[in-house]
Chains A and B, each alone.
Chain A
Amino acid sequence: MEEDFISSVQTLLRQRLCGKCHNQLRFRENEIKQLHDLVHRTATVGESNSLLVIGPRGSGKSTLLEGVLDDLTNEKDVTGNILVVRLNGLLQTDDKIALAEITRQLQLEAESEGKAFGSFAENLQFLLEALRSGSDRKSRSLVFVLDEFDLFAHHRNQTLLYNLFDVAQSAQAPICVIGLTVRMDVLELLEKRVKSRFSHRFIHLLPTYEFKEYLEIAQDVLTLPQDFASKKLVGDWNKSAQEFMQDSSVIDVLQQIFYLDKSIQHLYQLLMIPVCKLNAEHTKLLASDLYASFKILHKDDKAAMLQGVSILELTLVLAMKHLNEVYDGEPFNFEMVFSVYKKFTQRAALQSFQKAVVIKAFEHLCSLEIVRAAESSTSRTQREFRALRLMADSSQIMEAVKRYPACPNELKHWSTTPMLTL
């Protein structure tokens, strides 16, 4: 019983954290109402509209929209009166694909088959016309959702956007065009003729909430609904979730995250790992799991990779760091690194490798992209003389040297002293 309960709790929470459930967002009542009204008017009165929802990644644009659309389709006067076409700038990379997708989503493939259209507008007109050919000649309302709206602006001549906005503005058919984007400057991307047909309605989803509200959002996602299981189990879980949220170390971690990235998606990602750890023996969320999750997500991965290179490679990285310091970040080439390396191994009386072995180690660093070519490579220069730059920060290198297992003392010493004084 207990075990089943925990696994079903986990299933639900995983769904929530993956964004499968469209829980209505908190502290967004105004935006929800605005969007709801707009789509509602299109569906019932036949008003045409266009709108852009702008907000950073993970701020809940899709959640907001899907929540509103879910609500609307359950309303009596809207059901059956609205068709939603979902497009995504990542998928419909040009207008031809987009049009095919629109046709498919409206299930008009049969009608448009075998017809040749002179222009994009003609084709779109035909689709809208086909929708109208019902018994009462009254068209159903269309809602176009354009995710990653900014990518549509890169299409040739912005034909799709022009036509959609044109239909909306000239009230040829009741459609509502909703764009979702992360780019604040998205209007600048639009051509003049497209821009002038857009209604200039915006919803800005900026993370304006305070830390207290942020905690409430976190609490919300972990709380089970009352009708989920027997009252006692739900009560117990909710109480333990509340205790979890009040733990001082949990609040500490969340505070740190909040200062770094306020987005809800990031919060969900952070909670994902502790939730995944739930099982029969491990029935509660633990603060230590959250801390571990924080550690995993905010690991300095370059320093971690540097810890895994061999001593020879680490020596080369240190040589490059010194070259960077001496020559003020100017690009260097392999020969310079090698000469510093040679001098160092001589003075420190360390094992010195042949040039070919050193080159192999160096190439490994290149393939890890710890070192990169300063300019686009030309095949004419020998690889030893190609201008390169070090892509790791000196603090990352110091960290790697500090943590390196059994790092020779000479290297440790060299990392803190100027280039060739030992």
Chain B
Amino acid sequence: MPDSPLDVIACRQEQSRQLQSLFGSPIQMTAPCVFVYGHSATGKTLVLRSLLQKLTHIFVNCVECYSARLLFQRVLNELSGHVPSAANDFTSYSRCDNTNDFVRILKHLMQQKRLAGTLYLVLQKAERLRDMEANLLPALLRLQHLTGENVCVILESEIVWNKFWCGTGFQDPIIIHFPEYSKDELLEIMLSSSALDGEYSSELKESYCNLVISVFHTACRNLRELQHMAQLNFPKYVEPIVTGEVQEDDVRKLWRNVEPHLKRALQTVYLHEISSSQWERMQAEKSEEKAPPSALSSRVSMELPYYSKFLLIAAYLASYNPSKSDRRFFSKNAGRINKRTVMNVDKKSERTSSQMLGPKSFGLDRLMAIFYSIVEEKVAPSAYIFSQMTSLVNLGLMTRISVSDSLESPKFKCLVSLDMIRAVAKNVSFDVVRYLYDFVG
């Protein structure tokens, strides 16, 4: 069917055709259940929406309707055209607490409305259905059988079907896969739907989109992210053209100009650490002062009181060093290293390195001992120090793990990363790596 609206959707013709042939004409029976899956931003919803435009359909997002009851009420409200509003006290079409009521009311509604064609019930983010009542998913899959009406349930998910199996199993749906777009398809879609402003030739836009894809493609194939990135960095790309430094067709110069920006965007904007407007502001500031801010800085900088920093470092050392090694690092006659320890260091494999396995717990006594040995001046063990401990726990930098057993001294664990502890240690000019068992070895 060349005149159908399907061919408008770029690069999804095959899937559209498959689905359309499954749906058939409205009066015909449709397969009881269809499972549509694929990575995010591969056009699943777009295709379904455009196919179902003229058919009776209900879209329900399972994140929004997180319980069976909400889901049922949503479907019934939509089908009956009932809108909860102030006039009806925001009540739903009818009370519906369980699957039994739902099937009964649905059947009743469909008969009452004399629907001519199939009713399509599209459940987006269907993987959430697994967390709801155990009977819900099997019941939805058999909805056609249970109601005896022409209902087709379409499940939409990013997760493969065999992760849905449970219990004694159920009727398998027809499974349609939406593959990820290839590089060429990405380019085609980005060009056709791009919101790149300004009067520039299509060749320029094409070479720009190609650039964005080539930089980001290895890390990310998500169309939506790529489009966002392209849009955000476009002004930077055309800046030399605007100022008149470079001709529009000088692709190489433009590339050299924009490449560092895109690379930096990959490290910050792509992670959504800063908002797009922040990024734009940063770009503007940067072009004035020419001093690139370290990408890491925002992630690891944190202002703490002076002793808290040492406490945190001590906690980190206690978490990542075996307690056996404390003598070696912190006792007076540390110069003498036992031969056997050296042998052990060689033998330690990746599997046992605590940098790999994560922090271990330590007692309060050990923490305080390490703390006193790394702090240079004398500190009295006052309540002041202990209250700083508590605030470190409250900040989520440390965690208390022992149970509320008052007989034992409390146990803690350090929750910060190596990068962060390095930054903190640098701040108080303490060489933390020299004290770490895994690095000294």
A→B interface (CB under 8 Å): 7, 10-11, 14-15, 17-20, 57-58, 62, 88-93, 97, 100-101, 104, 150-151, 182-183, 265-266, 269, 272-273, 276-277, 296-297, 299, 301-302, 304-305, 307-312, 327, 333, 335-336, 339, 351, 353-357, 360-361, 367-369, 380-382, 384-385, 405-406
Contact = CB atoms under 8 A, between A and B. Distances in A.
15 contacts: A14-B24, A14-B30, A17-B29, A20-B29, A90-B139, A104-B104, A269-B174, A296-B177, A301-B161, A351-B218, A357-B270, A367-B158, A368-B158, A380-B401, A406-B183
B169 A182 contact: yes
A369 B415 CA distance: 25
Interface of B: 18, 21-22, 24-25, 27-32, 37-39, 42, 98-100, 103-104, 133, 135, 138-139, 142, 144-146, 158-163, 168-172, 174-177, 179-180, 182-183, 217-221, 266-267, 270-271, 273, 295, 299, 350-351, 355-359, 399, 401, 413, 415, 417, 419
Given A93-B135, A351-B218, A308 B179 contact: yes
Top 10 nearest A-B pairs (CB, nearest first) are A385-B358, A308-B180, A301-B160, A311-B218, A90-B139, A91-B100, A14-B29, A276-B21, A18-B29, A310-B221
Contacts of B32: 18
Given A309-B39, A335-B355, 16 more contacts: A18-B31, A18-B32, A90-B99, A91-B139, A92-B100, A93-B133, A151-B135, A276-B22, A296-B177, A301-B161, A307-B179, A310-B219, A335-B357, A351-B218, A356-B299, A357-B266
A310 B159 contact: no
A368 B38 CA distance: 10
- A contact face: mostly helix, strand, loop, or mixed: helix
Nearest to A380: B399
B219 A276 contact: no
A405 B175 contact: no
Contact of B99 (A91, A100, A335, A384): A91
Contacts of B160: 301-302, 305, 369
Contacts of B142: 90
Contacts of A301: 37, 160-162, 175, 177
Chain B binding surface, main DSSP class: loop
A256 B62 CA distance: 37
A367 B39 CA distance: 11
Contacts of A62: 145
Contact of B218 (A302, A310, A382, A385): A310
A356 B174 contact: no
B356 A333 contact: yes
A368 B171 CA distance: 23
Nearest to A308: B180
Nearest to B22: A276
Contacts of A351: 218
Contacts of A20: 29
A333 B100 contact: no
A10 B299 CA distance: 61
Contacts of A307: 179-180
Most buried by A among B27, B100, B175: B100
B39 A305 contact: yes
A234 B38 CA distance: 41
B29 A15 contact: yes
A91 B182 CA distance: 44
A405 B356 contact: no
B399 A90 contact: no
A310 B359 CA distance: 31
A11 B266 contact: no
Given A90-B138, A299-B175, A101 B28 contact: no
Nearest to A311: B218
A295 B234 CA distance: 43
Contacts of B295: 354
Contact of A382 (B18, B162, B217, B358): B358
Pick the most buried of A92, A276, A333: most chain B CB atoms within 10 A of its CB.
A276
A151 B39 CA distance: 35
Given A14-B29, A356-B299, A369-B159, A339 B350 contact: yes
Contact of A88 (B146, B271, B356): B146
B176 A339 contact: no
Given A18-B31, A308-B39, A385-B357, A369 B172 contact: no
B358 A381 contact: yes
A92 B417 CA distance: 52
A296 B175 contact: yes
A134 B184 CA distance: 76
Nearest to A314: B218
A18 B135 contact: no
